[in-house]
Chain A
Amino acid sequence: MSKRTDSNGYTMVFAVVMVLIVGSLLAFLASSLKPTIKENERIEKQQNILYAMGVNENDESSANFVSTSIAGEEFSKYIKKQIVIEGDKVSESDDAYLIDVKKQQANAKAGKVRKLPLFVGEKDGKTYYVAPIRGKGLWDAIWGYVSMDENMIVQGAYFDHKGETPGLGANIKQRYFMDDFIGEHLMTESGAFKGITVAKGNNDPKNEDKTDYEVDAIAGATITGDGISAMIKKDLALYVPYFKNLKK
């Protein structure tokens, strides 16, 4: 028995109507929710930056941001200066945290000057310099914020990812991994930039040696770990001239 739904005409009409309905539904939803989502992302950036400089609500083992309702307040309280570095030019801007690192990386590739945001925070009399980094993991983008003191010794780090494997690469945003970075040196004694490598081999599993330029890798997440090493080396190296100037 041939059904009405088997005819070519019906199939075509059905496909067109379905695409129209689904397309407009999704487009409508996406554009009407966009402002709310943008706002959420903006607050999250503030929370990330604060997290990296130690303003968070961490308990013993899990990573918790300051709550969204007070993120803006805390951000203006702790972040004293937002700096934009453009080549040799250093300027201040209150919206530096909105700079899209991905876009700036593309700019740099196209031969344009890359804007480097740096957030200067103060907590308990100590100054923190928080820099954003961004790179590639196994499946998709990974990014993070690293806070340093004026000698480029890491004071805190926050990592996040778009689509790393749950249970493996996704664990870069777990405390046990992020906390390993605290205290690690980025510069050698002679003042050369060395970065931090996410290393297999477990020479220092308790992470007591802070000048080995290594942290312990996550089992089963080699490529995500390599991505972290690469983005630290690549993106943080760009800030070295600023820190060298700072000391003069």
Chain B
Amino acid sequence: MGLLSKKDAVLLTDPLADNNPITIQVLGICSALAITAELKASIVMAISVMFVLGLGNVVISLMRNIIPSKIRIIVQLIVVATLVIIVDLVLKAFAYELSKTLSVFVGLIITNCIIMGRFEAFALGNGPWRSFLDGIGNAVGYGVILIIVGFFRELLGSGTLLGFKVLGDPIEKTGLYAIGYENNGFMLLSPMALIVVGIIIWIQRSKNKSLIEEN
């Protein structure tokens, strides 16, 4: 037997497609709309969430037998807020440059429903190792969608990818811009993120009919 049993591996792979947190569970939409105007921000957010969700799921899982059910949501909130604040403080002290980049994400992570959603739905009922895998799997599934949305929004909205001008210079009129192409400024605004997510959901469900709910 390898490191992962089949049952465990499913925890990692399922959220990537058929149980994707954004497109199927519809969790984490708020941050998917807020920070996907640029590919770089999407990637940073994906990595941060992976860290917090992986660790948070383990902590909640370890505490699952002692958390009183009446106040479990508050306890979950405290755990995730504490984790994020500790990371923020440590970065501020020892990796100041990095903390400047990440500081705007701190609030978005604490209030990210994907984190509370996985704590509540998975970590409260499963062991630490499985919870860790579930956290990583869901964070990756979330990150993949974030990166796809970020890719299209940055490419069509600003004509750049990770800040590089891949379509030419819109002001000097080189590349595609020479033949009359224009950036679509609307792509930079949140409504277009929702539409891009909608298109992804549409494509995914038309490929896999079993995902479509019966009415």
Contact = CB atoms under 8 A, between A and B. Distances in A.
B70 A36 contact: no
Interface in A4-29: 5-6, 10-11, 14-15, 18-19, 22, 25-26, 29
Which 10 A/B pairs are nearest by Cβ-Cβ distance?
A167-B37, A167-B38, A166-B41, A220-B188, A11-B68, A36-B93, A40-B96, A33-B93, A219-B185, A166-B35
B3 interface: no
Contacts of B82: 22, 25-26
A37 B93 contact: yes
Interface stretch (A102-110, A157-165, A229-237): A157-165
A77 B74 CA distance: 53
A170 interface: yes
Given A6-B69, A6-B70, A166 B163 contact: no
Interface stretch (B15-23, B103-111, B202-210): B103-111
Indicate the member of A10, A36, A164, A166 with the most B CB atoms within 10 Å. Answer: A166
A5 B69 contact: yes
Contacts of B36: 167
Contacts, number: 95
Interface string A142-177: 000000000000000000111111111010000000
21 contacts: A5-B67, A14-B71, A15-B74, A26-B82, A33-B92, A33-B93, A37-B92, A37-B93, A162-B103, A165-B34, A165-B37, A165-B104, A166-B35, A166-B38, A166-B105, A167-B38, A205-B171, A206-B171, A220-B185, A220-B188, A220-B189
A29 B86 contact: yes
A60 B103 CA distance: 26
Interface in B153-177: 154, 157-158, 163, 171
A30 B93 CA distance: 10
B146 to A, nearest CB: 11
B90 interface: yes
Given A29-B86, A163-B107, A166-B35, A5 B66 contact: yes
B104 A164 contact: yes
Interface string A24-62: 011001100100110010001000000000000000011
Contacts of B41: 166-167, 170
B199 interface: no
A162 B93 CA distance: 17
A127 to B, nearest CB: 30
Contacts of A25: 82, 86
Contacts of B44: 166
Contacts of B157: 219
Nearest to B65: A5
Nearest to B92: A37
Nearest to B44: A166
A6 B188 contact: no
Contact of A26 (B86, B93, B158): B86
Given A26-B82, A30-B89, A220-B37, A168 B107 contact: no
B189 to A, nearest CB: 6
Given A167-B41, A220-B189, A14 B86 contact: no
Interface in B61-102: 65-71, 74-75, 78, 82, 85-86, 89-90, 92-94, 96, 100
